[in-house]
Amino acid sequence: MIIHREGRVLLFVLLVVLFALNWAISYFLPQAIAIQNISIGISIVFYLLILQFFRSPVFTINQNEKHVIAPADGKVVVIEEADEPEYLKSRRKQISIFMSPVNVHVNRMPVGGTISYFKYHPGKYLVAWHPKSSTENERTTVATKMPNGTEVLFRQIAGALARRIKWYVQQGQTLKQGDEFGFIKFGSRVDIFLPLDAKINVKIGDVTKGGRTVIAEL
């Protein structure tokens, strides 16, 4: 387990701020031992909560060109056929994974291939499970063309708390299955659009592990 690069500066600054706050309380209220202890306890719990959010587990990714692996930790909230009007412009099977603030928020490539399309969309911050979040919230759209020509499209979608989407890809770039393609801070959602003949291996309510859970087969 390591700390993701997106959280290192924030965690350092937060540590300094909390240390300064508790030092100030002990300096100006030297007799208020109870208040000092409460402040220290709250600071430790708060810091650990933020720390766990930026954790980035280290594990071996079993790459398989016939598998679609989960792009993120979370819970499956949508499995349906839907139109994808932005790039693929066709009917697809959609799987949506909701990430709560306690999930690992590293986003990983569900398949390997070349980035055939990328676009960032500014937008609203509706709750991530809202039906219109896929089209109205801040989001990125990424399409990957696999070596066999199949294209898989996926979106990072900001939620009510997730006010910053980070992405590490650009059009024309080639990545392996399981490589990091982005990070979303503090709760969000990822949608994946697959060919209609894809075999879905998950159901609504299933918990996924990014880079490990096989959510479909092509």
Residue 194 lies in a domain: yes
Catalytic residues: 188
Q: Are residues 175 and 79 in the same domain?
A: yes
Q: Are residues 170 and 122 in the same domain?
A: yes
At 203, list the tokens: 């159901």
**In the predicted structure, residue 134 carries a pLDDT above the cut 80:** no
Residues 6+ apart with CB under 8 A from 159: 125, 126, 127, 128, 133, 137, 186, 187, 188, 189
**pLDDT tens digits, one per residue of 102-120:** 888 899 999 999 999 999 9
- Residue 132: per-residue pLDDT: 57
**pLDDT tens digits, one per residue of 17-74:** 999 999 999 999 988 899 999 999 999 999 998 888 788 888 889 999 999 999 999 9
Q: Are residues 169 and 84 in the same domain?
A: yes
How many independent structural domains does the chain possess? 2
Q: Are residues 187 and 136 in the same domain?
A: yes
Model pTM score: 0.84
Q: Are residues 47 and 74 in the same domain?
A: no
